[in-house]
Amino acid sequence: MDAWIAAMGSRGDYTREHVLDAPMMARVCGRGFGFALDVGCGEGRFCRMMQDCGIRTVGIDPTAALIGHARSLDPDGDYRIGRAEALEFPDESFDLVVSYLSLVDIPDAETAIAEMARVLRHGGALLIANLNSFNTAVVDGGWQRSADGEIRYCIDHYLAERSEWLAWRGIRILNWHRPLSRYMSLLLAQGMILRHFDEPPPLGGDPEKAARYRRIPYALLMEWEKPGS
């Protein structure tokens, strides 16, 4: 986990810092949320960002080293070792539940989404940032030279759910590919209502990275509401 912590630093990686942070915070700050759960909080970066908006937070993650680092950076914060598939909270405990690039890491998305919905209060928001499903359906790293000499992004077997080990900068993570329809159907099955959907463009950062991101955006953002009882 040392490699992950070093790669994230205090600002996160490119996708977090220059693509998702601003629209995620726009969905969080100034809307009256009081108590949030960050599912898959990692080193606690987004918990701390939400706290800056006056929101009390709990962060959970299955990786003890990341929880330990989160606690070292935020000794007064509430960070716990836990799994999305078995949230140790009563029903309707939070008015905001966040999954910030964590669903792609969760083996049992169906149970995890059901658990997130269970601990969310009626009228509360489930805010999800996830990798685009065409990104997780990548073939051999994605960028390849086609027969006409152009560099193109290659995907295959889009509808087949599967896991794949990814490695970069000393980091090795098991990611799950699922078609977008799978995530949508699981959320709809919980009675959730889609209130916002976006594929945000990059803001700033390395111009070459931004140009490539605009060709193949990696991430999406959606907000779901748990309807009132």
The residue segments making up the domain with residue 142 are 2-217
Query: How far is 127 from 142, CA to CA, in rounded Å?
Result: 28
- Determine, yes or no, domain membership for 165: yes
For 31-93, where are the alpha helices, taking DSSP H only? 45-51, 64-73
The average confidence (pLDDT) of the chain is: 92
Find residue 126's DSSP bridge partners.
97, 224
pLDDT at 167: 65
Q: Residue 169 has what pLDDT?
A: 65
CATH number, domain containing residue 23: 3.40.50.150
The two beta strands, 193-198 and 162-168, are unpaired
> Residue 159 pLDDT > 70, yes or no?
yes
* pLDDT tens-place string over residues 76-85: 999 999 999 9
Q: Which pLDDT tens digit goes with each residue over 31-57?
A: 999 999 999 999 999 999 999 999 999
Mean pLDDT of 119-146: 92
Contact 225, 195 (CB under 8 A): yes
pLDDT at 95 over 70: yes
Note whether residue 229 is domain-resident.
no
Does the structure show a pLDDT above 80 at 170?
no
Letter string b/e over residues 100-119, b meaning 16 or more CB atoms within 10 A of that residue's CB:
bbbbbbbeebebbbbbbbbb
**What phi-psi label fits residue 44: left (phi over 0), alpha (psi between -120 and 50 degrees) or beta?**
left
Contact 81, 64 (CB under 8 A): yes
Q: Flag whether 224 is in a domain.
A: no
Whether 225 is in a domain gets the answer no
Q: Which two tokens stand for residue 134?
A: 């065409």
Q: How many domains would you assign to the chain? A: 1
| Domain contains 223 | no
Average pLDDT value for residue range 100-108: 95
Q: Which value, in Å, is the radius of gyration of the alpha carbons in the chain?
A: 17
How sure is the predictor about 152, in pLDDT bands with cuts at 50, 70 and 90?
confident
Does residue 160 form part of some domain? Answer: yes
pLDDT of 168 above 90: no
Q: Is the dihedral of CA 172, 12, 17, 123 positive or negative?
A: positive
Query: What does the pLDDT read at residue 145?
Result: 83
